[in-house]
Amino acid sequence: MNIHTYEKFWLIGAMVLIVAFIATVTYGAAGLGIAMVDDEGGTIAPDEIGDHDKFGDPGVHQVGENEYDVYVHAYTFGYSPDTIEIPENSEVTFYVTSSDVTHSFTVVGTNVNTMVIPGEIAEITAQFDEPEEYGILCNEYCGFGHHDMEAELHVVPETEFDLTELAVDAPDEVDTDDQAQVTASVTNGMLEDLDTTVTLEIGNETVEEDVTVAGDSSEDVTFAVDASTLGDGDHDWTVTVDDYTESDQLTVGTDDDGDSDDGDTTEEE
Ligand code: CUA
């Protein structure tokens, strides 16, 4: 059979194109290491998000030397947490779920872009090497507030990153002859121990206590302050741990009935 030269040329050309198309699609699907978002992340009932041990208090967890898991709860119309902070040079896996309708979790300028479907946990991993601030937004139309649905991802220098949290439990008022118990709870979300100092400033007094908080746990430090040394009245206090502070006011003495005013205190001298 004789095939015309031009016919042969077009046949070969068409074959080459078909092979090239298949090669391109295969490279795009397998060669670039881009994984499709699947159901690997698991499922979660939308009304049980608050009870989940991670989604109940969404945020960042260290899981390896340079590896972090970030749990995000998407809802109409926002994300919790609305600001995510991670260190540079880290591999971050985002777990995102929705408590109402379908949203998306899109980190602008990166490959992180996934639908967030109620009942399912979207899981997506990315590497962040340089300090930078990214916007996070919703790409799926989800209602009247869709265009306002946004959050931020801050990739910060390693020296500026920690997962320390401070919460303070202190009374609002205490009797003059009593002690005020001020308890600072220091939480360390990193895997390594945290050596730090808890400082309480109240009135003219400053008390300090060194504390070591093991990785992924918390420690309480309680200061007992004699109300009599502070004297009657309002006293501002501040508890400091590294860059974190909590402050409020302690009132010494009660004036509920008016009988613990001047008279009482002078009698004691
Ligand atoms: Cu959420 Cu659009």
Q: What is the pLDDT of residues 83-140, one digit of tens each?
A: 999 999 999 999 999 999 999 999 999 989 999 999 999 999 999 999 999 999 999 9
How far CA 109 is from CA of 2, 70, 106, 133, 136, in Å, comes to 55, 18, 9, 10, 10
Whole domain around residue 114: which residue ranges? 39-160
Q: pTM here?
A: 0.73
Going by C-alpha positions, the residue among 86, 253, 74, 252 that lies closest to residue 158 is 86
| Cβ < 6 A, ligand 1 pocket | 77, 103, 138, 140-142, 146, 149
237 in the same domain as 156 = no
| Residue at 149 is within a domain | yes
Q: What is the pLDDT of residues 138-169, one digit of tens each?
A: 999 999 999 999 999 999 998 889 899 999 99
Q: For the chain, what percent of residues have pLDDT higher than 90? A: 61
Distance 55 CA to ligand 1 centre (A): 19
Q: Residue 94 in contact with residue 163, Cβ under 8 Å?
A: no
143 in the same domain as 92 = yes
Q: What is the mean pLDDT of residues 229-246?
A: 90
Nearest ligand 1 atom to the CA of 146 is 2
138 in the same domain as 55 = yes
| Residue at 100 is within a domain | yes
The predicted pLDDT at position 35 comes to 64
Q: Whose CA is nearest to atom 1 of ligand 1?
A: 103
130 in the same domain as 223 = no
Average pLDDT, the chain: 88
Instruction: Return the structure tokens found at 82.
Output: 């609305």
